[in-house]
Copies of this chain bind each other. A is one copy, B any other.
Amino acid sequence: MTIRIFPTAQDAEIAFYEALEHADLEAMMSVWAEDEEIVCVHPTGPRLTGQDQVRESWRQIFAGGAGARVQVSQEAVTSGVMFAVHSVLENFAVEGQPQPAPVVATNVYLRTPAGWRMLAHHASPAPRQARAQARPAAQEVPKILH
């Protein structure tokens, strides 16, 4: 596997979503940190930790092949010297299918000796209106516990 160096967290994020679009497992895993306990939560999925679990989950997701375009919007970024937290909406588009509801993702990146890498990716389905309306009306706030 070619080792890729990402000079910024944004570079790592671009590579992450390119790998996702192309269903490219090696490119995907080149984005993740190697020496930290990485954490990945796919929409509606369990919490996965470590290279083996995270790789296996992407392998299974990518087994269906590429075909979805993903556009990232409404990015909220906080960053420091050694870390960056990107909150984004992921808007998927599959040709010939209605656009699904967006996914809200929290992406955490670390500056490592090998450049910026992903430490955590937590994704969950967002209510459809989150795409058009950044500030939810009161009635849209979930009423469930926590």
User: With A and B bound together, what is the CA distance between A119 and B106 in angstroms?
Assistant: 11
Q: Does A140 have its Cβ within 8 Å of any Cβ on chain B?
A: yes
From B49, B53, B76, B141, give the contact of A57 (CB < 8 A).
B141
Which A residues from 108 to 144 make CB contacts under 8 A with B? 108, 110, 119-120, 122-127, 129-130, 134-136, 138, 140-144
Are the C-beta atoms of A47 and B104 separated by less than 8 Å?
yes
Which residues of chain B are within 8 angstroms of A81 by Cβ–Cβ distance? 82
Which residues of chain B are within 8 angstroms of A83 by Cβ–Cβ distance? 80, 82-83
From B36, B57, B134, B141, give the contact of A45 (CB < 8 A).
B141
User: With A and B bound together, what is the CA distance between A117 and B129 in angstroms?
Assistant: 29
Q: Does A22 have its Cβ within 8 Å of any Cβ on chain B?
A: no
Which residues of chain B are within 8 angstroms of A42 by Cβ–Cβ distance? 141-142, 144, 146
Which residues of A come within 8 Å of B, CB atoms? 20, 36-37, 39, 41-49, 53, 56-57, 60-61, 64, 68, 70, 74, 76-78, 80-83, 85, 87, 89-90, 92, 94, 100, 103-104, 106, 108, 110, 119-120, 122-127, 129-130, 134-136, 138, 140-146
Return the 3 tightest CB-CB contacts between A and B, nearest first: A124-B124, A46-B130, A45-B142
Given contacts A61-B145, A92-B145, 13 further A-B contacts (CB under 8 A): A37-B76, A37-B78, A43-B142, A44-B144, A45-B126, A48-B141, A49-B76, A61-B142, A64-B145, A68-B146, A85-B120, A87-B120, A103-B146
